[in-house]
Amino acid sequence: MRILVLGSGAREHAIILALRSEEESHAIFAAPGNAGIAREAHLVDVDPMDPTAVLTFAKNEAIDLVVVGPEAPLVAGVADPLRAHGIPVFGPGKAAAQLEGSKTYAKRIMDAAGVPTGGSVRAHDTAGVEAALDRFGAPYVVKADGLAAGKGVIVTSDRAAALAHAESYLPSGAVLIEEFLSGPEVSLFFLSDGDHVAPLSPAQDFKRLRDGDEGPNTGGMGAYSPLPWLTERFGGEDEFVAQVTRDIAEPVIRQMDAEGTPFIGLLYAGLILTEQGVKVIEFNARFGDPETQVVLPRLIDPLSRLLLAAASGTLEDQPRPAFAEATAVTVVLASEGYPEAPLTGRVLTGIDGAEEVDGVHVAHAATALRDGELVATGGRVLSVVATGTTFGEAREAAYAGLERIGLEGGQYRTDIAARVARA
């Protein structure tokens, strides 16, 4: 197949590595890609945020499948003209991407579909925010309504900090004040063709910047898959996945279809396992980053076949995606100053050495070649990924790889998958 992947993160590198691992050989194009993706795909100078430019490229290059990685181009409507021209695209159109682009829209869909989520209030001014904060009480959860690259959410017991966060987002529209939910979090991905869903294997993400879940929320600092502890609570991963499919994914997909905005692409369910049952924290309209880096290396079936089936409405004909028992762990290396103000342009060394560690590969994110040197160009620079038989093995390999990488001021968590490796 001729496949165009939009995006430039470690998620997109992971998607492309999965496509490359198939028996069938594909012509893969990436826009804009990064220094790691450049080794696997043709980088093309097409702006993912420009739907017309993407359509023109896809037509000129006779692309068979477009895979949209990040949320911003989806929310900007990149999928719509492609679909209108009969080009299979994995990713929802502008209207359905509101499931991620607007927390208010997502809450309305969940209400209509009877999907369990925390209570929330939309506030438009300081008085409304204060009333909502006092209604729910501490700890306070405040969310920007629109896209905020993982930085829109604050969870704090400090009322003044909650109020200040809300006020910083009020000028851009409304904010959501939510009921605080407590429990372990799970990211579960579903491929959707608008009508049917196919679940992938669950993963857990580490959202806070520092060890022990301290520090600010980030896009994600590490992840592991599968989640062996689901067995204790649900009897097994399959039982858990079946429950979430029935109670959450299918009702949402049905509701969106009934409203004339079918969701075609990846439904990312951000879940929290509360004492009162599984609840939705958020939906995303694309693969998670860094969870994809640990889910896709375990996928046995050819990814291209599944994505094409979702993009062309034939998911029902596919066998359910199967996963290897192997464990996978990823640790993200971020630039100094991330997430507030990452320092960029610093030299990155040791990636080849890291990949010499058994079971380790590196998914690039913010990397570029400048004058023959590899440099970091953004906040989350790369994901070191390791697979193993046990979590202990995978975790040890991931950190052994990471220690071989040099980046001045680079930050990473040292406790990714520590608990599950001890269990």
Judged by the rule CB under 6 A, the positions of this chain that interact with ligand AMP are: 118, 141, 143, 153, 155, 178-181, 185, 207, 217, 270, 281-282
Query: In three state form, how does the secondary structure of 381-395 look?
Result: EEEEEEEECCHHHHH
CB 420 to ligand AMP: min, Å: 17
Say how many Å lie between the first and final Cα of the chain, rounded. 42
Tell me if residue 116 falls in helix, strand or coil: coil
Partner whose binding site includes residue 185, from ligand GLY, ligand AMP, none (CB under 5 to 8 Å by kind) = ligand AMP
Q: Kindly tell me which of 196 and 207 has the beta carbon lying closer to ligand GLY.
A: 207
Does 69 bind ligand GLY (CB under 6 A)? Our answer is: no
Choices 190-198, 257-265, 287-295, 375-383; region in contact with ligand GLY by CB under 6 A: 287-295
Nearest residue (CB) to ligand AMP, 217 versus 231? 217
CB of 317 to ligand GLY, least distance (A): 29
Please list the residues that pair with 178 across neighbouring strands. 120, 141
Cβ atoms of 265 and 285 closer than 8 Å = yes
Q: Which of 69, 220, 342, 379 binds ligand GLY (CB under 6 A)?
A: 220
Give the burial string for 378-410 (b: 16+ CB within 10 Å, else e): bbbbbbbbbbbeebbbbbbbbbbbbebbebeeb
Residues 100 and 283 sit within 8 Å (Cβ to Cβ): yes
Q: In angstroms, what is the minimal distance from the CB of 56 to ligand AMP?
A: 34
- Give the C-alpha separation, 158 to 343, whole Å: 29
Can you list the alpha helix ranges (DSSP code H) found in 61-157?
A: 71-75, 79-84, 98-101, 103-113, 126-136
Binding of ligand GLY by 12 (CB under 6 A): no
146 lines the binding site for ligand GLY (CB under 6 A): no
Give dist(CA 379, CA 59) in Å, integer.
33
Structure tokens at 63: 């692309």
Per CB under 6 A, the segment of 45-53, 282-290, 315-323, 412-420 that binds ligand GLY is 282-290
Q: Which does 285 bind (CB under 5 to 8 A by kind): ligand AMP, ligand GLY, none?
A: none
Distance between CA atoms of residues 378 and 335, nearest Å: 7
Q: Contact letters (x/-) for ligand GLY, 195-214, by CB under 6 A?
A: ----------x---------
- Smallest gap from Cβ 128 to ligand GLY, in A, equals 27
- Cβ 220 to ligand GLY shortest distance, Å: 3
CA distance 387 to 18: 14
Contact between 291 and ligand GLY by CB under 6 A: the answer reads yes
- 321's contact among ligand GLY, ligand AMP, none, with CB below 5 to 8 A by partner kind, is none
> In the bound complex, what is the minimum distance in angstroms from residue 206's beta carbon to ligand AMP?
10
Residues that bind ligand GLY (CB under 6 A): 205, 219-220, 284, 288-289, 291
